[in-house]
Structure formats: C-alpha cells, structure tokens
Amino acid sequence: MEFISQHPVLVASIIKIAVLLFIVMTALAYLTWMERKLIAHIQSRWGPYFVGAHGLLQPLADGIKFLFKEDVTPPGADKFAYLLAPFLALSLGMTAIALIPFGPPSVLIPFLNQQAFSVADVGIGLMMVFAITAMGVYGVALAGWSSNSKYPLMGGLRSSAQMISYEVSLTMSVVGVVLVAGSLNFNEIISNQSGYWHYVPFIPKWNFGPQIIGFLCYLTAAIAETNRVPFDLPEAETELVAGFHTEYSSFKFAMFFMAEYANMITVSCLATILFFGGWLSPFPDSWKWQLFLPGAGLVLLGIYCAWDTLTEMRGIARLQLSVVTLLCLGGGLLCLVPQVAQVIQGPFWFTTKILVILFFYIWLRATLPRFRYDQLMSFGWKLLLPVSLANLVLTAGYFAFKWTRHG
Amino acid sequence: MSVVPVSYYLALSAVLFGLGVIAFVFKRNIITIFMSIELMLNAVNLAFVAFARAHNQLDGLVFVFFVIVVAAAEAAVGLAIVIMIAQNRQSLSVERMNLLKF
Amino acid sequence: MSLPVILFFLCGALAVAGAILLIAAREPIHSALALILVMVALAVLYLLLGAPFVAAVQIIVYAGAIMVLFVFVIMLLNMGVEERTDFSQIAKYFGIPLGGVLIVWAAYWLLHSRPAAAIGTGSGMEASSTRGLSTLLFRQYLFPFEATSILILIAILGALVLARKEE
Amino acid sequence: MPILDHLWILLALPLLGSAINGLFGKNFSKTVVNSVAIGSVALAFLAAVEAVREFVQLPADQIPHVGTYFTWMVAGPFHVDFALQIDQLTVVMLMVVTFVGMLIHIYSTGYMAHEGGYYRFFSYLNLFMFFMLTLVLGANLIVMFVGWEGVGLCSYLLIGFWFLKKSAADAGKKAFITTRIGDFGFTVGLLLIFATFRSLDFQTIFKSLAANPVSEGVLTTICILLFTGAIGKSAQLPLYVWLPDAMEGPTPVSALIHAATMVTAGVYMVARMNPLFSRAPIAMLVVAIVGAITAFYSATIGIAQTDIKKVLAYSTVSQLGYMFLACGVGAYSAGIFHLMTHAFFKGLLFLAAGSVIHAMDGEQDMRKMGGLRKKIPITFWTMLIATLAIAGIPGFAGYFSKDAILEAAATGPHANFILWLLGVTGALITSFYMFRLIFLTFFGEPRFDEHKAHVHESPRSMTVPLMVLAFLSIFGGWFALPKMIGGANYFERFLAPVFGAAEAPPEPTSPSDALLHALLSWPVFVGLLGLLIACYLYLKRPDLPKKLAQSMRPLYTLIFNKYYVDEIYGFLIVRPLLWISTNVLWHVVDEGVIDGVVNGSAHLARLSGRQVRRLQSGNTRSYASWVLIGVVGFTVLLLALFVTGVH
C-alpha cells in the first residue's frame, strides 16, 4: 500500500499495460476474423462461419491450433536470431501502442491520479513511436537471415530494404503535421486539431484537410511499412512461398502474424491522431446527445444480435450469440449512464476512426494487385519521397510566410 | 544515492570507447571493424550528452546530431566500398587485404 | 538507490555487455545485434540525461537506419563467420593489451579527476530541451547544419557511384 | 610629361623588346621580330633625344639630375636605391649608345637575314642595349655594376651565338672568365669604397670626398682596383686576350659590343670616377702607362694579322689604350671624345668589314681578298673614310680626338714624354696597318676565284648605316674645330662641369699659330707617314712584305703569333689550374668527399628504409595498433602534464 503511494507511476503503468495487453491481444485476434469476414463478403463468400456463430470463435481456434502445432527449427538455422526475431517483431509492435493516447489526458485513474487512456504520455511521443517502429525492421530481417534458407533470405532482404526506404517518406510526410501542431506530443497535436474552420461550418479543423498530401503519402508509406497489400512483397506467396517467415511454424509464426496486425493498429492509431483529430468528436460539444452515441450503438448491436439469435441460429450457436447479445446490451446500458458516457467518449471516437481506417486497409487488400519489386522501389524513392518533401516544403513555406506576416 | 554523478557517465563512455578501440584492433571482419568505429562514436556521443547535461548547455546535443549525421554518411559510403571489396576479393577479412605493402 | 540510479547501472551494464559481445561474437550479425543493444541502452541513458529527443534520434537514425544498413549488407554478402587469423603480431601483443590499459586507466582517471557533478533524472526539461535544441540548430548552428546536408548529398552520390555496375 | 622624371622608360623599352622577342619571337615572322627589336631601340633613341633636349634646358644647379625610383636593398647602413642620373657625360654616352645601337640593329636585319635563331639574336641585342643603358644611367655603383655585369653576360651570349661552333663557345667562355678576373678587382674596389665613404652613390661619394679628404693610399688602392675592372672590361694589358677571340661572334656584335659600346665601359667608369682618380696621381700614372703600352703593343700585333676582323680587334684594343692614356694624363674629356669618335669610325670599320665578309660569303682572310674596290663601292668608300678617320688624317673625326689626347700627353698637366712617344709611335703603326688592310682588301688583283665567289654589294639595310656612320666619322669630330682657330673645344666645354675639377681649362692661343700647331702636329705627320709606307709596301712593291718577313723572321713570327701571350697564359695559369682542378678538386674533393657524402647518405637511407619498411605490413590491424600506441602515449603525456600542472 505504502509502496503504491510512493510510486504511483509504476503501479498505474503496470495496471494500464496489463489492461492494454489484454485488449490489444483480443483486438488482434478479432482483427483477423474481421479481415477474413470482410474479404469473404467482398468476394461474395461467407468466410469463417462454423466455429462459433458467424465464426466468432475462429480466432480462438486458430490460436489453439498454433499453440499445439509442432515447432520446427530448420537445421543450420542461427538459433539465437531465429528465436529473437518473432519476439522482437511482436514486442515492438505492442510497445508502440503503449504511447498512443486513446482518450483525453484529463481523464484520470482514481486514487493514482494518472492518465487513464495512455500508458506513457511522452513529450515527444511521435518520435518515440517512430523510433520503435523503426526497430521493427530487425524482426523481419533477422527472421529472413537466421532461417538459413533461400526464400526467407530474399524476403528478409526485400522487406528490410522496403521498410527503410518507406520509413523515410513516412517520417517526412508526418513532419508537416508536426509543423502545424508545433509539437511532437500526441495530446498537443490532437488538441491542436479541436474546433472548426470558422469559414466552413461543420467541418472539424482536422489536419486531414490542410495536410491532405501528407495524409496520402502517410497512408501509402504506412501500408508499405506494414508489408500489406499492395506492398506485401516480403511475403509474396507466389514468388517466395511466404517470404521471411517461410521457415517459421506454430506459435512463432503466430507471433509474426500478430506483429503484423499490431503494426496495422499502430499506424492506424497514428493516422487517427495525426490527421483525424484522435479522440476528438466530429460534432460540436454543444450537441449533448452525442454523449449517448456509444451506448445507443451497442444497444442497437445487441438488438440486432438478439434478432439474429432468434431467427437464424440453431443449437450451440444460439447459446453463444445470446451471450454476445447480453454483453452488448449490458455494455450499452452501462454506457448510457452519464458519467460512464462522459468517460467513454474519447475512446469511442478513437476506436471508431481506427476501425474505419482498418476497414480501408482490408478493403485495399481485397481489391488491389501486388507491385513489382523495382516498381515498388522506384515508386518509393522517385515519387513518394519527393511528394512528401514537397508537402513539407509547402507547409514550411506557408508558416514562414505567416510568421513573417504577423509575428 | 539518488542521482548519478556525471563522472559515472564519462567513465562509462570511456569504457565503451576503449572497448571500441579493442574491437577495432581485434576484429578481422571489415564490417565489424566498421561497427567498432560506430561504437566509439556512440561512446563519444554519450560523453557529449553528459557534458551538455552537466553544464546545462544544449550545444553538446547539437554536436551529437552532427556526429550522427557524419556516421550516417560514413556508413553509406563505407558499406558501398565494402560491397565492392567483397565482390572483388570474395573475402571480408582485413588481414587478407594486404596488397598495399612493401 | 532511486530509479534513475538503478536504470543507469542496468543500462550501463547492458551497454558494456553489448560492447563485449560485439568483440566476442564471430558471426557479424551477432556483432550487429550487440551493437544495437549498446545503442538502445545508450538511448535510455540519454533519456535519463534528459535528452529524449537525442534518444529518439539515436534510435531512429542509428539503430533504425544505419545498423539496418549494416545488417542488410551482412545479409546481402552473407560471407559467413569471420576467420580469426593472427597475421598481425603487433596487434596481438600490443594493440589489445594497450586497449585494455586505455579503458581501465581512462575510466579510473575520469572517475577520480573531476568533482562528481550531480545529475538528476532531467524530468521536466524535455520539451524545453527539444525546443531549445531546434532553435540552437537552426539559428546558431545553421551553417554547419546546411554543411551536413551537403555532406549527406555527397555521401549519397559516392555510394551510388561505387554501387553502380559498370556495363 | 618631362621624360627626365621617367628615365626608367629608356631602360624599359629595350627590356620590353627583348622580353617580347625572347619569349614569343620563336613564332614571329622576321618582320615582326625586326619591328619589335628596332622599334624598341628607335623609341629608346627618340626618348634619349627628348631627354637630352630637356636636359639642356636644365639650370646648372639641377645637374646632375637624379631620379630615384625605389629602395632596392637596405641592410643596416648599407642602403641602395634604384636610381638613375643624367649629366653631360651620361648625355654623350646615351647618344652614342642609343644611336649607334639603333644603326647596328638596322644593319643586323640585313646581316643576319639568313641565320638561324634570328629572334634569339635580336632578343640578346635588345637585352644588351638595356644593360648598357643601365650602366650608363646608373646613379650609384651598384646599379652601374648591374649594367656592367649584364653587358658582360650579353657579350658572352652573343659571342657564343653560334654555340654549335666550338671555337665560338670557347671564345664566349674566355671572354666571360677573363672579364671576371677584372671584375673581381672591381668588386673589391666597390667594397672598399663603401667601407671608406659609407655609400655607393656617386654624388654622395664625390661630396664627402670634397668635404673631408681621404688618405691618398686608400684612394690609390680603390682607383687601381676599379681600374682592374676597367682593364678586364676594356681589354687592356694584360687582360686583353679575350677581345680578339670575341671576333667569333657575328660582326654586328663585334661592332656594337666589342668596338662601340661595351668595351668603352671601362673608360666611362674611369671618367665617371674622375674625382677619385684625379686625387690619386699614382693610380693616374698606372692608368696612363697601361693605356699607352696597350696602345703601342696591340698596334704592333695588328701589323701581322691576316684576319680582317682580328686586325680591327687589335686596333680596337689599342684605341682603347689611347682613351686610357687620355684619362691617365687627366684629359678625360679628350678620352670621352675619342670614345665617341671611335664609336663612330670603329663601328663603321666593323660594319664595313662585315659587309666585305658578307660579300665574300664569310671569307675573313685578307690574303684571299683584293680588288674589291669596284665590286662593292659603297663599302669601300665608307671604309676608306673610317680608315682616314682612325689614321688621324686632318678633317676627319679621329684626327681631332687623337690629337687632343696626344697634345694632352705632351703638354697637359700630367705630361710625360715617354707616354707621348709611345702614343705617337702607336699612331704611326695604326695608320700603317689600317691602310695595309685597305690595300690588301680593296686594291690589287683579286686573290680569290671570281667565278666561285659571286661578290655582291650588301642590301640597303646594311649600306645605309654605313653611310650614316661615314658621315659621322667625318663630321663627328668637328666639335673641336674652333680649337684650331684658337677657340675652346665645344666638347670639352660641354663636359667641363663633370671634369671641371680634374681638368685645367685650355689656355687660349692666337688663331694663326694654333692652326699651324694643329696642322704640323705629330699625329698628322705620323698618320701620313703610315699611309705612305703602307702604300709603298702593298701597292708599289707587293713582294716586299714577304721579303721583310723573311729577313726578320723571328720578330715576324713573334708578332704573327701575338707574342705567344695566349700560350704563356695557357702555360702559366690555365695548365696549373686544370691540373689542380683535375687531380685535387675533381678526383679528391668531388669524387671522394662530396660524392662520398651523397652516396653514403643515400646508402644509409636505403639501409634504414629496408628495416623500416617492415612496418608497412599492409595489415590494417597493425596500423591501428600503431595509432593506438601513439594515442596512449600522448594521453599519458598530456595527463601527466595536466596532473603536474593542476595538483
């Protein structure tokens, strides 16, 4: 007790980390589910359906399957690096998320008086996130090298080259935002985006507008950074079996998988914070009814589930879905309590925005074909980088002009 | 003790630098020798930062930036050279590259 | 023993260990990893010293770019473990021992020479340090800054020229 | 602008010409080279004329007019400016040098037309003009010395102009070395002067000399030392030997350098330093004696020479002797007067001889000539005029000057019968061998193959200078005309300010007996006598000379071989020197000591290198270790210092 009172930071951090880990893990798991479902529907298939209602238990099944698969280590592999790679990848992917503020800093944890919605509110959070993502390369590279096999090596080479190439434009595209906000701190960046354009009503003053070029560059670079379609050269099945993690099996493979999704989440969070005003709501604060949006949404979802349970489901599935229904309704009702609603506001908007971006991600994957390697490189160096630089110059020029004009 | 004296940082940087020197002399692989140079640079950077902190002057940090930039440039060129060497000599051992002698 | 002191000793130990590993490892990749370890540890020390921005740059540029380049090249060439030849007697009998002497003695000297100026965790001066740093960099050190940009440009050209295939 | 304030222009012009021709002349056409060379000298001449015009208008108290341009060197009390001065003496020399120089440049364009290294020749010639003018204009002994050595250099270059011919190259060397011997004395003299007067500036020296008298011994030493320089430069006994050999050079060179200008530098110097000399009677006597003996002695050699240029060379030597005789007996103005006239007629003689040689396609031996009178009339007439002038026939330039000299020797303040006698005899012999030359060359039957040698008159560019000089050889001496009818010699009066201290003004006499005395003077008599003898021997009885040679063979051979002076020098000086150089300096000092040191050091270097190169193992780690060793050593040192400094 007395230790707690002495080191509130420590305790709070531990608690927050635990919670965050749990949430993120589940999120990852269900992100896979979401992806498969979405792509299936886009391709007019059903997608996972039989493991649990709507295949809701599919991720769980997958996880168990991975756990119990045989863990093969290829002969002549560099044991240490071979082990290190997946851990590096996943842990880094997770760590980045620790810097993300999911809600306003004003909300505090009772007794400890620490921010509730961000594990670490660093003065230069943006830089830190980039630092961590920058390290992400090693996971891939090491994996490719240590497998002591042809395809992984090439995959590793490709991806490391690709990642360092696109990291440059990623960083460059963001600097514009930093200039606008005049800070590297996430909370400041976000609060800097609050309010509306006074000459265009009802359009929130998010960086998305003025930094549109930066945003597009960022999005592209981010997709490449996370080795997603159409930039998933490192794991191009058709060319290199599965790229850098060809030789990996069972849970190590799973870790790579999770790492990839974790990175997706990270970059989506960044996009949200930098360009879409993070946890800010798009509506003016005067509109009180928006407090009840999350609750209402959950309740509606619950109602849909209930109807679905009664009409569609049979046997065990009905039971499972009814559980989901109860959860949704209960959560919804809880969220309708004003205090809770107040607290839940920020995270709600934040997650919504993230989900939108993630949806976009998956949509892309379902739609676009893959680049060729040289195209990828030339695109990154000859188009993306110059454009992001141009954006930077434009922004800087604008501010220089502005500041010289008035103070 | 609740704070770390600057001399500790300096000593640490000295140790790292020395280790870098030893690495430079001890290693035979060009790339690793390169790395040992980077290690020395890092040690120096640490000293810079420590001094900057000690005198509450930021200039030291600026110097760190310049060091890093130079290191980056050096790495770019140096590694290109290493690649050329490896392609021509099929070896990375400096001890096998002794054409330039009496 | 407060938190920063613990952290210092932890990271210091890590850094030294990394350096020794760099020397000990025969596999270049392992050396590279060891060096990355050193860099990360140093980054944490920078945080301790209240220079978070430098720490971030250290990670991004050093660990995130330069070392990646090293790893990349090592993978590309894939020349296997280093051979421990001993053609250089002078290095064997003088260089390495002298290096040891240098370490011990310089460390000793630095520990005892100057009055131990105390350094706190440097919390609270982060933002200001970043801001002040930028002003310093873009006002007082503008010319060196531009010079380095030229340097980088030249380096790029040099690398291109070297890497280009003669046809 | 008054050119007097910019005398340096006079120097700059020839130097510029020389530089242009020397640097770029290789690619120029002959016309360009000519225009550059002659243009520069002609401009210099015009500038000189202008300078003289302005000089004449100067009030007496501004003479000499000195222009200091920059401080050249300063070392404690030793201070030398680059300064030029102009006074009456300078004016005379200036006119002579520039004018004769210009004529000879023009002449050369014709004479050298078919030679290689055309641009080189003219570059040297211009350079010579530059140095000669420096010599003449110099306001202190150092500047003068520069010119002095410079003309020596140019003389060397030009004598050895055909350096592929061994004799020419040797002659060049001989000239240089022989003059160097004299210059040694000259240099010592300069040192002594500085030691005595604490300055090398003419005016300063003279002023301080006038102010506080210096011991006569010192002055004598100085003067004799300076005179050695003059001996070398002006080819007096015993250092005259280089001048005859100098005839290896192209004839215009002989005319310009070895007759008209350079060789007279010695005389000029002595005249310039007259305040010193006139205070040192013994030195004066030495000068006079050397001059007289040379005049006589080399005249005798002239008798037996067969090479046309050699004859002229020896006659030059003897004429120079006359000039020194004049200076020695205190008649400086007479000396300078003779210098001027001599410049005219001797220059003319050489040019004419050159024209003859040109006509004979390079033949110089008078025994293979003869009867050229008709074939090359202009050359003949001009040369005849010059000969009359040098022989001292009344009315011609040479008469006045030589008469003045001999008169001074006879009746001057330092009169001396023996010197006078030598002079007169010399005059006799002079006119004899000169007319011998004329008769052998132009009269009698051709002694060469008419068909093989197609004799032709020289081009206009050569004949015009001849005629101009002939004109001067006649009227150049008429400054002195009034003296004959009892006036004072214009020339002397003009130069009086310079020599005033030295010379007693000539006492006026009544016109009639002045004229009588002038016409019945010995020079006229001996001149005519020489003419008659020559006429008798070489026109009336051409067989007689051989008989005479037979009858007094030993004397003849002695004279024919120039008294074996070269051989004696060779035996007494050159051989021992050679022996020492070969057996001591070469085999012992050079091979033993110097080469030993050099090779030894090289060997040492190689040995040490063989050991040290092991360091260059090519092994990076070794290099790194060495660096490390150095670093540790340094840190130890520094920290040690630091510790001792702090604690």
- Residue D25 to residue D45: CA distance in whole angstroms: 22
Whether pLDDT at D508 is above 70: no
State whether C100 and C123 are in the same domain: yes
Say which range, A47-61, C12-26, C83-97, D526-540, has the weakest mean pLDDT. Answer: C83-97
Q: Would you say A204 and A280 are in contact if contact means Cβ atoms under 8 Å apart? A: yes
Stretch D607-620: mean pLDDT: 84
- pLDDT given for residue D416 in this prediction: 80
Phi, psi of D363 (to 5 degrees): -80, 130
Alpha helices in A104-149 (DSSP H): 125-146
Q: Does B46 touch chain C (CB under 8 A)?
A: yes
Written as six digits, the tokens of A280 are 């800010």
Query: Cβ contact (<8 Å) for D620 and B33?
Result: yes
Query: Cβ contact (<8 Å) for D620 and B94?
Result: yes
State whether C110 and C139 are in the same domain: no
Tell me the shortest Cα–Cα distance from C122 to chain D, in angstroms: 31
State whether C76 and C143 are in the same domain: no
Of all residues in chain D, the percent with pLDDT exceeding 90 is 21
Instruction: Convert the pLDDT of each residue in D534-592 to its tens digit.
Output: 888 888 777 777 787 788 888 888 877 878 888 888 888 888 888 898 888 888 888 88
Please state the domain count of chain C: 2
Query: Cβ contact (<8 Å) for D629 and C106?
Result: no
Query: Cβ contact (<8 Å) for B94 and D625?
Result: no
- Which carries the bigger pLDDT value, residue D204 or residue A202? D204
Whether pLDDT at A105 is above 90: no
Written as six digits, the tokens of C44 are 């944490």
- pLDDT given for residue D637 in this prediction: 87
List Cβ neighbours of D31 (8 Å cut-off, separation of 6 or more).
none
State whether C28 and C103 are in the same domain: yes
- pLDDT given for residue C124 in this prediction: 38
Whether pLDDT at D260 is above 70: yes
Tell me the shortest Cα–Cα distance from C38 to chain A, in angstroms: 14
Query: Cβ contact (<8 Å) for A156 and C78?
Result: no
Query: Cβ contact (<8 Å) for D628 and C99?
Result: yes
- pLDDT given for residue C116 in this prediction: 46
Whether pLDDT at B6 is above 60: yes
State whether C26 and C14 are in the same domain: yes
Whether pLDDT at A1 is above 70: no
What are the E-state strand segments in D3-104?
A: 65-75, 78-86
Query: Cβ contact (<8 Å) for C53 and A167?
Result: no
- Nearest CB partner across the interface for C75, out of A80, A157, A167: A157
Instruction: Convert the pLDDT of each residue in D42-73 to its tens digit.
Output: 999 999 999 988 888 888 888 788 888 888 88
Q: Would you say D270 and D320 are in contact if contact means Cβ atoms under 8 Å apart? A: no
Tell me the shortest Cα–Cα distance from C117 to chain A, in angstroms: 26
Instruction: Convert the pLDDT of each residue in A11-30 to its tens digit.
Output: 888 888 999 899 988 888 88
- Distance separating the N- and C-terminal Cα atoms of chain A: 52
Whether pLDDT at A238 is above 80: no
Instruction: Convert the pLDDT of each residue in D359-408 to its tens digit.
Output: 887 788 888 887 788 888 888 899 999 998 888 888 888 888 888 888 88
- pLDDT given for residue C125 in this prediction: 45
State whether C124 and C136 are in the same domain: no
- Residue A160 to residue A166: CA distance in whole angstroms: 10
> Domains along chain B?
6-90 (1.10.287.3510)
Best of B1, B22, B55, B70 to disrupt the C interface (most C CBs within 10 Å) is: B22
Query: Cβ contact (<8 Å) for C29 and A131?
Result: no
- Nearest CB partner across the interface for D621, out of B95, B100, B101: B95
Give the DSSP letter of residue C156.
Answer: H
State whether C35 and C106 are in the same domain: yes
Give the DSSP letter of residue D237.
Answer: T
- pLDDT given for residue C120 in this prediction: 46
State whether C112 and C135 are in the same domain: no
Alpha helices in D360-396 (DSSP H): 377-391
State whether C42 and C117 are in the same domain: yes
Instruction: Convert the pLDDT of each residue in C110-123 to its tens digit.
Output: 777 655 444 544 44
Query: Cβ contact (<8 Å) for D626 and C90?
Result: yes
Q: Rg of chain A over CA atoms, in angstroms?
A: 22
Q: Would you say A164 and A174 are in contact if contact means Cβ atoms under 8 Å apart? A: no
Say which range, C86-100, D151-165, D346-360, has the weakest mean pLDDT. Answer: C86-100
Query: Cβ contact (<8 Å) for C71 and A141?
Result: yes
Residues in chain C: 167
Helix (H) or strand (E) run with residue D217 in it: helix D216-233
Tell me the shortest Cα–Cα distance from D604 to chain C, in angstroms: 26
Of all residues in chain D, the percent with pLDDT exceeding 70 is 94
* CA D293 from centre of chain: 19
Q: Does D608 touch chain B (CB under 8 A)?
A: no
**Taking Cα atoms as reference points, which of D235, D330, D323 lies closest to residue D279?**
D330
Q: What is the CATH number of the domain that holds C32?
A: 1.20.120.1200
- pLDDT given for residue A403 in this prediction: 83
Instruction: Give B-chain residues touching C112 at CB under 8 angstroms.
Output: 7
Whether pLDDT at C127 is above 50: no
State whether C69 and C149 are in the same domain: no
Q: What is the mean pLDDT of chain A?
A: 85
- Give the structural domain span for C151: 129-167
- Nearest CB partner across the interface for C103, out of B15, B79, B95: B15
Whether pLDDT at A387 is above 50: yes
User: Predicted confidence band at D480 (pLDDT cuts at 50, 70, 90)?
Assistant: confident
State whether C70 and C50 are in the same domain: yes
Q: Does B33 touch chain D (CB under 8 A)?
A: yes
- pLDDT given for residue B88 in this prediction: 84
Residue with tokens 């599935």: A317
- pLDDT given for residue A113 in this prediction: 74
Query: Cβ contact (<8 Å) for D620 and B99?
Result: no
- pLDDT given for residue D561 in this prediction: 80
Chains in contact with chain C (at least 3 beta-carbon pairs closer than 8 A): A, B, D
Please, how many CA atoms are within 13 Å of residue D589, restricted to the half-sphere of its CB? 7
**Taking Cα atoms as reference points, which of D336, D356, D439 lies closest to residue D391?**
D439
Stretch A36-65: mean pLDDT: 86
Stretch C32-53: mean pLDDT: 89
- pLDDT given for residue C128 in this prediction: 59
Instruction: Convert the pLDDT of each residue in A145-179 to its tens digit.
Output: 888 788 888 888 888 888 888 888 888 899 999 88
- pLDDT given for residue D190 in this prediction: 92
Cis before A204? omega within 30: no
Nearest CA in chain D to B27: D621
Tell me the shortest Cα–Cα distance from D589 to chain C, in angstroms: 47
State whether C72 and C137 are in the same domain: no
CB-count exposure of residue A342 (10 Å: 0-12, 13-18, 19+): exposed
Regarding chains B and C, contact by 3 or more CB pairs under 8 A is answered as yes
User: Predicted confidence band at A63 (pLDDT cuts at 50, 70, 90)?
Assistant: confident
List Cβ neighbours of D190 (8 Å cut-off, separation of 6 or more).
D141, D142, D145, D200
